[in-house]
Structure 1
């Protein structure tokens, strides 16, 4: 196999290397196209203890065909169907006749692609360095010493500071290409929360029968580490239905307090202990736990007052009230009814332990922070429309925004943000404003705010893209108010 084979698209153009490393998951068909896995190759999935063997072969179109004729584009789906069990990591389940794992062939492809990227002087995106880092992460995961890092640090390897839709997919797919899983799911927790990169799951058919426990990973991560990974739900775009995807939308785990720890008391605690912990931490409620995973209820200032009012010698148990626990991966919108009912919820982490508490005040602050940039964007739109409608001639503006007349513009109210940019970037219209400002710098800032506006309006970023832009939005609005009179 030559570098050209890997580095060329179907039309002979270069760029496939970058696409494979950053665009999506590696498929069996990619291995065939690169000359690493000939069509017709026999694959074997041998169960570790029973020795039971399942046979398959690779088809010309990149499918894995089982002995009964069923075909799958996903190795994991093929392994699950062959055994009647799952989930299984098919990349580390299927082997070639010489014992080579299908995953090893995938890594050879990635290594070749990364080498090309490294030798390409135009590749300045750090993909080769990231590949080396991911390889090292996989090596450590397989050795039982997985890497742990913050979500913020993980994003930095992709040159990102926020989890937009595109970058989340890229990270998720590149981790998968290296057989890595993030625990907890990086898209379902806060930016400063820490995650662990674990390796592929192990087929433990026989251990499962004997002990009743589900297998973990090749690095033998403890069961509690993978009991609840947060994951990744099936994606409808995959024909085999076993591929995973990053958690989309705002989760309860994205809130700062969700996984930051929680003070609690045991069922046998005294009023004095509960009172002291609540006062020291400024809490209005305190969970009652019989161990880190066993939620018994909670005590609140109100429940304590009622219990003591009824009987000043009553034990703390008389002040227990119901409490509700949710998973850190639960969508925030789905948790709102429980917050309305209880005033707070306890949050379970990936090991099912109670790891934090979220109150109505936390959610109000979150929604307030989310709404702020939307309000400023609305104000910016109004200010831009006001300036253009009051200072410029509609007859001159319409040809700039609708040169072909297809939109049939008839008023300033029909203009969009893109129209504002078009008008204010025009030298003649800019001169009509008579502002002592630089048109190019002004237009560049408008375009920057357009990107922020698009991210917000399409909800593409769960880390509130508008946060960093709030000062810029405010400055632009103030400038328009000052000069637009």
Structure 2
């Protein structure tokens, strides 16, 4: 068996391809591929202070510090060796010859993609995506970061929505190339723009724990926000996370349409007339008070203005300013419910920490309503399928199809699952018993499409709403079942 350029065999490379596809590269992958032998010494040099930290690679693919502590990820090892902070360990640790762990990671990825495991379109698209990600990294390193919409980013993974698996895969493959997005692509809208940035720069200051930053991305973000009165979340995280922990899922504040779409505001020196006019022209119930894009002074509402003037007919505008709360665009919606209940609205900070939008109770109600609608339709679909099967078919024959060995101990139609409905309605004999003037193959094909939608929803895998096409699909199937099922 011929060795690869990195010292591993063809079999090792194929194993690496199978294991790495869709997840973060590990130190153990480099060891297994022969690119990083056990016992290799690693150096982490702090440029400004001149401090040099040493570690070595263990046989089981960990980084062992001089004090004996072992870490599975380079970033955690880097943070531990200096006593805290946030680092991209792949660009922090180097071999004695100056080769970065990041270089070895790219060598492994190149070897994997050089010979896809098959000639399928999926393998081809994987190679194309690898080439595109390498290009994006080169652009980021050159300070000319690529920006695109989240929707366009997902196209590279053959997806139109951010389901759990797609988000995990995209995050992992971006991280493997030392890339992350600013803002976080999972926490904004599908049509919002994100910038692909490289590893954060180690901005070692007076304290070792100071985190790195992305100068090119920060400059670009500053330019994009310089003419807006807009706030949001902290800067991007490092591109590496613990590979054993999944990326946090759940609906984020930034996923709401209004969260990062700008905000109309007034300053604390404004007049009542200015506030009245802006609130009336935009049909707003509240107006943020900002003395600069990051300096939130509070807000005024129709109620706060009325209270101030009721208490003192000669009240000045500052007398009507009440407290307002700002949250990060990356915060989970469920975590801001208490603030929403208290204030009736919250302001949203973007990745540059500027006020970038506002969400109200109405926005939250619309979001949860849109999220609940498909769940209600899925429940209705389940009931209709069970009804037509129980009314038109024989229980004994249905059980024979769905539980032929009796392991599930089915005794009633109520025990059937969605998969059972598909099994029954795909059977020609049972279909003929229903006597429907419909095409069985087309009908069951649609059932399978709806199964995919159902699985994403019921496992909370779909970060984006079901979509404009799925709701009519569910409704049309339910109406068809009602029409022919009686």
| Aligned match of 2:67 | 68
TM-score scaled by structure 1?
0.90
2:202 corresponding residue in structure 1? 203
Q: How many residues align?
A: 474
3-state secondary structure, aligned to 1:357: strand
Q: Structure 1 CA distance, aligned partners of 2:6 and 2:143?
A: 37
Separation in structure 2 between the aligned mates of residue 55 and residue 65 of structure 1, nearest angstrom: 9
Contact 2:93 2:100 in 1 (8 A): yes
Matches within 5 A, 1:418-457: 418-457=419-458
| Aligned equivalent of 1:217, options 214, 217, 227 | 214
Output the CA distance in 2 between the equivalents of 1:152 and 1:340.
32
Q: Aligned ranges for residues 29-108 of structure 1 at < 5 Å?
A: 29-108=28-107
CA distance in 2, matches of 1:483, 1:15: 52
* 1:335/1:349 CA distance change after superposition, 3 Å: same
Q: Residue 445 of structure 1: SS of its match in structure 2? A: helix
Q: Structure 1 residues 35, 251: closer, same or farther in 2, change over 3 A? A: same
Q: Is the 8 A contact 1:231 1:247 kept in 2?
A: no
Residue 339 of structure 1: aligned partner: 340
Per the alignment, do residues 394 and 458 of structure 1 end up closer, same or farther by CA in structure 2, a change over 3 Å counting?
Answer: same
Distance in 2 between the 1:68 and 1:360 partners? 53
Give the Å deviation of 1:377: 0.9
Q: Deviations over 1:290-310 (max 9, x none)?
A: 111111111112222333444
CA contact (8 A) 2:381 2:478 kept: yes
Deviation string, structure 1 residues 203-249 (Cα, Å, up to 9, x no partner)? 333x3459x975313758459879813658997774xxxx7x53311
- 2-side partners of 1:302 and 1:68: how far apart? 62
User: Higher relative CO (CA 8 A, sep ≥ 6), structure 1 or 2?
Assistant: 2
Q: CA deviation at 1:454?
A: 1.1
Deviation of the 1:349 alpha carbon? 1.1
Contact kept, 8 Å, 2:201 with 2:212, in 1: the verdict is yes
Give, in angstroms, the shift of residue 163 of structure 1.
0.8
| 2:254–2:260 contact (8 Å) kept in structure 1 | yes
C-alpha separation in 1, matches of 2:356 and 2:9: 47
Q: Which residue of 2 aligns with 1:283?
A: 284
Distance 2:413 2:207 in 1: 72
Counterparts in 2 of 1:305-384, with a 5 A limit?
305-384=306-385
Offset of residue 84 of structure 1? 1.9
Q: Compare 365-374 and 35-44 and name the one that shifted more.
A: 35-44
Give, in angstroms, the shift of residue 429 of structure 1: 0.8
* Residue in 2 that maps onto 1:184: 183
* Alpha-carbon contact 1:183-1:230 (below 8 Å) kept: yes
Cα distance in 1, alignment partners of residues 7 and 478 from structure 2: 53
Whole-Å separation in 1 of the counterparts to 2:408 and 2:207:
68
Kindly provide the CA deviation profile for residues 148-192 of structure 1, in whole angstroms up to 9, marking residues without a partner as x.
Answer: 221111111111111111111111111111111212211111111
Q: 1:431 to 1:44 in 2, by over 3 A?
A: same
Secondary structure of the residue that 2:53 maps to in structure 1?
strand
Residue 102 of structure 1 deviates from its aligned partner by: 1.5
1:2 paired residue number:
4
State the 1:70 CA deviation.
2.5
What is the TM-score when the length of structure 2 is the normalising length? 0.90
Deviation at 1:425, TM superposition (A): 1.0
Please name the residue that 1:386 is paired with.
387
Contact 1:6/1:113 (<8 A) preserved = no
5+ long unaligned stretches in structure 1: none
Aligned-partner Cα distance in 2 for 1:46–1:87: 15
With 65-74 and 457-466 compared, the bigger mean Cα shift is at 65-74
Deviations 1:397-443 (A, max 9, x none): 11111112222222222222111111111111111111111111111
Are positions 1:140 and 2:142 aligned together? Answer: no
Deviation (angstroms), 1:360 = 0.5
8 Å contact 2:218–2:352 — kept in the other structure?
no
Instruction: Check the 8 A contact 2:325/2:343 in 1, yes or no.
Output: yes
